[in-house]
Amino acid sequence: MTKEKTKVVHRQLSLMLVVIALLALTVILALLTDYEKSYITRFMIVDSLTITHLASYIGGFWIAIFTPIYFVLKRRRPLHFRSMLKIHVLSNMLAFALITAHLTHREINSTFLGTGFALYIAVFSLIVTGIIQRFNFADGLRNQIRFVHLSMTTAFYLILIVHIIGTFVRI
């Protein structure tokens, strides 16, 4: 193996370790926000806005705003694609961790799994297909995985709109 190829492999491994660490953070946040046992979830910022609500707002809006920006910039600035891809992967993983904290807090004691759960499935699918694409886990299925990733991005925005409208208009 050449020196350059070794450097690329090391960079890939280090990024993969960071992604694994963010996945571990997601699991830890999910365990910490169990409503019955956690003091974190009971902390109110304003009226009924809890820390986990704020976390999900930050995570959801980050994905909703940064994804189109990333889409445009990767075509306009192809020389910066690698650095933008790292930011895209890591920031969306962190946003996923924040959204997971909210979902576990809200849905663990709920019998109704509505648009919030559908939104979480969309984000989860985006994360899984993104990791598969980024680390070339399914090289033979590259086009199919890309199609699912783009489709789930569209589903994310549609469900997000319905979810936001549903919070203001209760039927």
55-76 per-position pLDDT tens digit: 888 898 999 999 999 989 988 9
Model confidence at 5, pLDDT cuts 50, 70, 90, reads low
Q: What pLDDT is attached to residue 65?
A: 94
Q: Answer whether 99's CB lies under 8 Å from 56's CB.
A: yes
Phi, psi at residue 46, to the nearest 5°?
-140, 130
Entry pTM:
0.75
109-125 per-position pLDDT tens digit: 555 667 888 888 999 99
Q: Kindly list the domain boundaries of the chain, sorted by start residue.
A: 3-168
